[in-house]
Structure 1
Amino acid sequence: MSATRLLVLGVVRMFGRAHGYQVRRELLTWSAEKWANVQPGSIYHALKKMTAENLLEKVDVEPGDSGPDRVAYRLTDDGEQEFQLLLTRALSDPEVGHPEMSAGIGLMPALPRQHAISLLRQRLVHLEGEERRARLMLDDQADWGQPAHVVELFRLWAGISGASHTWLENLIERLEKGEYVMADDAEPLFRNPPQ
C-alpha cells in the first residue's frame, strides 16, 4: 500500500475533479511531503499510473501557458472502490506503516462516523495485543538470553504501543462525541464524488 496512492485518490475525490497541481497544492497544505514523503514527481506518476489502471479518468485537458497541458482527473467507479479499500486498510490494519495510517487519518472524514470508529476500534484491538506482547517480553527478559541492552528495544516497543493506544482511544472518544465533520454529517467536508 502506498500513502501517495491513497492521498492522490482522496484529494481527487475531494475536489470531484482535479489536476496534478491542485492535488500537489492541497497535499502541501497537509505537509504530506514531510510525513508521507509525497513529492511532486510521485503525484504525477500516481495520476498517470492510476489512469492506466482505470482508477482515474481524464476529464479535461487545458493547454498550458508555457508548459505542458493541464489534465484534470476524476475517480472512476473502480477508483472509488480502490479508495474505500485503501482507506479502510489504512485505518484498521496494524501492519500498514505510519505514512499510510497518517494518510488514512487525513482522509477519515470521507467515511461515515460509525464506520470510522469501527475501523479504529479494530486497530485498537491489535494495539492492545502489541502492548501485551511487549510487556511479556519485558517481564521475561532474564529467561531469553539476549544481551542486557536489548531490553531497551522492548521498552521502546512498549512505549510506542502505549502512546499509540492512548492516542487512538482519545481519537475514538472525540469521534463518539461528535468532533470533526464526517461523511454522514449535514455538511460533510468530503462529499461523494460527482458522477
Structure 2
Amino acid sequence: MSATRLLVLGVVRMYGKAHGYQVRRELLTWSADKWANIQPGSVYHALKKMTAEKLLEQVEVEPGESGPDRTAYRVTEAGETEFHVLLSHALSSGRHTTGAEMGAAITLMTTLPRKQVIGLLRHRVFQLETDVRSASLLAGQSDSWGQPAHIRELFRSWEMHAETSLSWLRQLIERLEAGEYVMADDPGRSFGQPPQ
C-alpha cells in the first residue's frame, strides 16, 4: 500500500472534487511532505495513475491563473471502495504498514465509524502484542542460536518500538472509546468527510 495513494484519495474525497494543486496544498498543511515524504510530483503521478485505474475521474478543467490549466478530479465508486480498503488495512495491519501509511490512516480515521476504527485498532494491538513477545523471546535466546551477542540489540530495538507503539495504540483506543474526536457516525461533520 502507498501512503500517497490513500492520502490523495482521501483529500479528493474530502473536497468532493479537487485539482492537483489543491490536493498538494492540503497535504502540505498536514506536513505530509515530512512524515509521508509526499512530493509535488507524487501527487500528480497518483492522480493520473488512479484516473487510469478508474479510481478517480476527471470532472472539469479550469484555466490556470498564471500557469497550465487545472484538471479537477472526483472519486469514483471503485475509488470509494479502494479508499475504505486501504484505510482499513492501514489501521489494522501492524506488520505490513509503514509509519507513513499509519500516519495517513490516523489522519483519515475520522471518516469511518467509531466502532469500526476501534475494532481495526484492536486487531493491530493483537499483532503488536505478538511482536513484543517474539522480540523478547528472540532477544533472550539469540546467543543460543550461534549469532553474535550484539545481534540481540536488534531484537531489543524491535521489542522497544513495538512496546511504544502498543502503549500509544491502547491510549488512542481509550480516547476513542471515551468519545474523543468527531467520527463519521457522530453528530456533526467529521474531518475528511465528503461534502453533502
User: TM-score normalised by the shorter chain: which range applies?
Assistant: over 0.9
Match of 2:177 in 1: 176
| Structure 1 residue matching 2:68: 3-state secondary structure | coil
Q: Does the CA contact (< 8 Å) of 1:75 and 1:193 recur in 2?
A: no
Q: 1:192 deviation in Å? A: 4.2
Match of 2:68 in 1: 68
Instruction: Tell me the number of residue pairs that the alignment of Structure 1 and Structure 2 aligns.
Output: 194
Match of 1:86 in 2: 86
1:11 has 2:18 as partner: no
Q: Does the CA contact (< 8 Å) of 2:142 and 2:152 recur in 1?
A: yes
CA separation in 2, counterparts of 1:61 and 1:108?
30
Q: Does the CA contact (< 8 Å) of 2:140 and 2:152 recur in 1?
A: no
Match of 1:118 in 2: 119
Match of 1:190 among 177, 189, 192: 192
CA separation in 2, counterparts of 1:108 and 1:60?
29
CA separation in 2, counterparts of 1:65 and 1:172?
45
CA separation in 1, counterparts of 2:143 and 2:71?
62
Q: 1:189 deviation in Å? A: 2.2
Return 5+ residue gaps in structure 1 as ranges: none
CA separation in 2, counterparts of 1:66 and 1:152?
55
Q: Does the CA contact (< 8 Å) of 2:87 and 2:109 recur in 1?
A: yes
| Structure 1 residue matching 2:72: 3-state secondary structure | strand
Return 5+ residue gaps in structure 2 as ranges: none
Q: Does the CA contact (< 8 Å) of 2:139 and 2:153 recur in 1?
A: no
Match of 1:162 in 2: 163
Match of 1:37 in 2: 37
| C-alpha RMSD of the superposition | 1.1
CA separation in 1, counterparts of 2:11 and 2:115?
22
| Structure 2 residue matching 1:170: 3-state secondary structure | helix
One-letter identity of the residue aligned with 2:13: R
CA separation in 2, counterparts of 1:192 and 1:129?
37
Q: Does the CA contact (< 8 Å) of 1:109 and 1:182 recur in 2?
A: yes
CA separation in 1, counterparts of 2:113 and 2:195?
15
Q: TM-score, normalised by structure 2?
A: 0.96
Distance 1:193 1:56, change over 3 A: farther
One-letter identity of the residue aligned with 1:132: R
CA separation in 1, counterparts of 2:155 and 2:163?
12
One-letter identity of the residue aligned with 1:55: L
- The more displaced of 55-64 and 75-84 is 55-64
CA separation in 2, counterparts of 1:142 and 1:70?
60
One-letter identity of the residue aligned with 1:146: Q
CA separation in 1, counterparts of 2:195 and 2:123?
27
